[in-house]
Amino acid sequence: MNVLIVVSHPRQDSLTFAAARRFAQGLTEAGHSYEILDLHGIGFDPLLQGVDEPDMSLEEQSFSPEVEREMKRLKEHDALAFIFPVWWWHLPAMLKGYIDRVWNNGFAYGKNQLHHQQVLWMGLAGVSQEQMRKRNYDETIAHLLNVGIADYCGISNSRVEFLYETTLDSNPRHYELLLNQAYQLGLNYAEEQ
């Protein structure tokens, strides 16, 4: 399987990128190929401008060169993984903007849907599992990503996984456990979905 790993974090030295690299290592050891798409690194513009606004009245719509390029990239992969920090109980603005612009009408929903076999949403949360569950944030986020986005766009095999307590910077053992969790998600990517 060829997996597009979309990473949304402004720093390459972040735990988010370390988790992405360990996830990719697991994919490789399981026999999959991958491409890491660093949204900040490519300078992706998350702002939806008029040219990329969905026009439901058009049979065929053309988009900006940046969006067309990302649509082409998506077509080249069988499966997806999004790796991101959970900020304000949601996707970072960069990743939300990527979905707003690229997963557009006629490409990801509407006349056509995405062809990907599966998607994994790996959110790095500063809070504990108990804090995430306190107000059902985990269920709400999972429903939004699995049903509101993935299933709406034709990917019924969608799963959300959280790496918890990512702000415990004085505990390198805890970070290694988180990175091992990311590695295992890559190693078992096709089996566990």
At 89, give phi and psi (nearest 5°): 60, 35
pLDDT score recorded for residue 171:
75
Please report the pLDDT score of residue 129 as a whole number. Answer: 96
What is the distance between the alpha carbons of residues 184 and 81, in angstroms, rounded to a whole number? 14
* pLDDT per residue as tens digits for the range 81-139: 999 999 999 999 999 999 999 999 999 999 999 999 999 999 999 999 999 999 999 99
- CATH of segment(s) 2-192: 3.40.50.360
pLDDT confidence tier of residue 192, bands split at 50, 70 and 90 = low
The domains of the chain are located at 2-192
**Residue 73, Cβ density class (10 Å: 0-12 exposed, 13-18 middle, ≥19 buried):** middle
Question: How is residue 86 written in tokens?
Answer: 């959970």
Asked whether the beta carbons of 123 and 20 are under 8 A apart, the reply is no
| Tokens found for residue 107 | 């490409």
Question: For the chain, what is the total number of helices (H) and then of strands (E)?
Answer: 7, 5
Whether pLDDT at 42 is above 60: yes
Beta-bridge partners for 79 = 3
Confidence of residue 58 (pLDDT cuts 50, 70, 90): confident
- Among the residue ranges 7-11, 23-27, 171-175, the one predicted with the least confidence is 171-175
Mean pLDDT taken over the chain:
95
CA-CA distance, 136 to 106, in Å (whole number)? 33
